[in-house]
Amino acid sequence: MRKFLVFFLFLFFITGCDRADTDFFKNLFSPKKSTPTDQPQKITPPEQILNIQQAFEKVAEVALPAVVNIYTNQRVKVRPFYPMPFDDSPLFRDFFEEFFNDLLPKEREYKSTSLGSGFIISQDGYIVTNDHVIRNADEINVKLHDKRTFKAKVVGRDAKTDVAVIKINADNLPYLKFGDSGKIKIGQWAIAVGNPFGLNGTLTVGVISATGRSNLGIETYEDFIQTDASINPGNSGGPLLNIYGEVIGINTAIVATGQGIGFAIPANMAKNIIEQIIKKGTIERSWLGVGIQKLTPELAESMGIKKVEGILVNRVYENSPAEKAGIKEGDVILECDGKKLEDPSDLQKIVIGVPVGTTLKLKILRDNKILSIDIKTDKMPSDEKIEKSEITKNILGIKVRDLLPKEKKDAFYKFGVVVVEVMPNSPADVAGIMEGDIIFTINQKQIKNTNDFKQVVSNLKRGSIINIFLQRDNRTFYIAVKL
């Protein structure tokens, strides 16, 4: 019976199925084909993501028209290399060049080009960039976002912070405003705009990675913002912006061996310099007149200092605010205006950040006693004047400082001054006085401290021969000095 039923059904499917039924089985056993109406579903991002994207778009709308491309040209003279026939010493080379000058390859002039970025800060064409972008340039060309090109002139520059201001003759230009870099926090958005590798109008996004970076060896005064917003060659001088489109820094440097490590000059440091350049054409910085270094555990122990904190004074310049205020070599500056000092750059940042003539309050450790000293800043002299101010003012040509506590213990006498610098070819240098010598007397007059030294030396007469009693290592002896 079962076999008969199966056979009957088989015949029914073969003979009784019409075309529609056949199509049904074809559809049943064949793969389903997609229709044109089957499309991937559109994704709707969260509103927060869209808001961030819109914020970046608005920053780009504001920033890109105000960021410029800077091209510089410099004429460089190069003399082709030629082999010397015998001796390559300077003396022989001068002799050889003098007699065979007409036969030697001549100097050739080449045009060296470089590129960088900048940003407009006023409608009438003032532009901020890095000093190293326009340094030694014979010609500066500025290309705007709208493709117009202008010749630019240098308004002023500051090599110590790598800030420069140039100007073009144009009006009604879009410009950027400065924000408060003192309020930025690690983790906040950072947006870099510039022309990396000549690619105009490039915007990259990252975060503030760190603040207050110093001791990098990039510039004299460092207080960098670190960011992972992509910065490349050509970005130098461009703005680092916050999410509001305000300039919080000037992109300056990268770590060539790393990725995602770029540095920008803080806006608050740059603003003061830019204002002085535009108003005066020069930079006036506050100055204390001290040489400082980090206080290490080893130095602290050798000087009898119980706690390793603050920064160590290793030099006090003559007639400087520090000397007038009574600061001495060996003092440890613990605080400045209530701010604790851990690194020499901490004091530098405070001093150069205040106007000339500002009175600062210092907390100092001297002989394990805490002192409070008020010091009024003065205008910083040029580097050349700073270096020559002391050793050229005394007839001996040396710089001295007071003995440190440990040096008093090791000295044969518990007084004297230490020679810390000897000017080349000065009377002291010719006589054989060396750095580290301890001077006890000059012409039999005791030298207990730097004040005694200055007083005695000021009364010496040129052309005379004097005697100096000093200690070197574990020896004491007299030395004659012809002035």
Q: What is the gyration radius of the CA atoms in the chain, in angstroms?
A: 37
Chain position carrying tokens 């073009």? 168
Chain position carrying tokens 């290490």? 296
Please list, in sequence order, all residues whose beta carbon lies within 8 angstroms of the beta carbon of residue 317, skipping any fewer than 6 positions away.
Answer: 289, 290, 291, 323, 386, 389, 390
CB of 42 within 8 A of CB of 191? no
Q: How far is residue 135's CA from residue 189's CA, in Å, rounded to a whole number?
A: 31
Q: How far is residue 48's CA from residue 369's CA, in Å, rounded to a whole number?
A: 57
* DSSP state at residue 182: G
**372 given a catalytic annotation:** no
- C-alpha dihedral sign at 472, 477, 482, 483: positive
Q: Are strands 108-120 and 149-158 parallel, antiparallel or unpaired?
A: unpaired
Q: How far is residue 434's CA from residue 268's CA, in Å, rounded to a whole number?
A: 44
Q: SS3 for 49?
A: helix
Instruction: Provide the CA 425 distance to its chain's centre, in angstroms.
Output: 35
Question: In this structure, what token pair is assigned to residue 253?
Answer: 């440097």
DSSP 10-33: HHHHHHS--HHHHHHHHHHHSPPP
Q: Which amino acid is at 284?
A: E
Measured between its terminal Cα atoms, the distance across the chain in Å is 142
Chain position carrying tokens 């039924």? 21
**38 given a catalytic annotation:** no
Q: Which residue among 230, 236, 345, 426 is the active-site one? A: 236
Q: Which residue among 131, 158, 162, 402 is the active-site one? A: 162
Q: What are the C-alpha distances in Å from 405 to residues 327, 440, 471?
A: 16, 16, 16
Identify the CA nearest to 203 among candidates 397, 59, 364. 59
CB of 70 within 8 A of CB of 129? yes
Alpha helices in 284-367 (DSSP H): 297-302, 321-325, 344-352
Q: How far is residue 81's CA from residue 233's CA, in Å, rounded to a whole number?
A: 30
Q: How far is residue 170's CA from residue 476's CA, in Å, rounded to a whole number?
A: 72
**162 given a catalytic annotation:** yes
Q: Which residue among 117, 132, 378, 426 is the active-site one? A: 132
Would you please indicate which residues are annotated as catalytic (active-site) residues?
A: 132, 162, 236
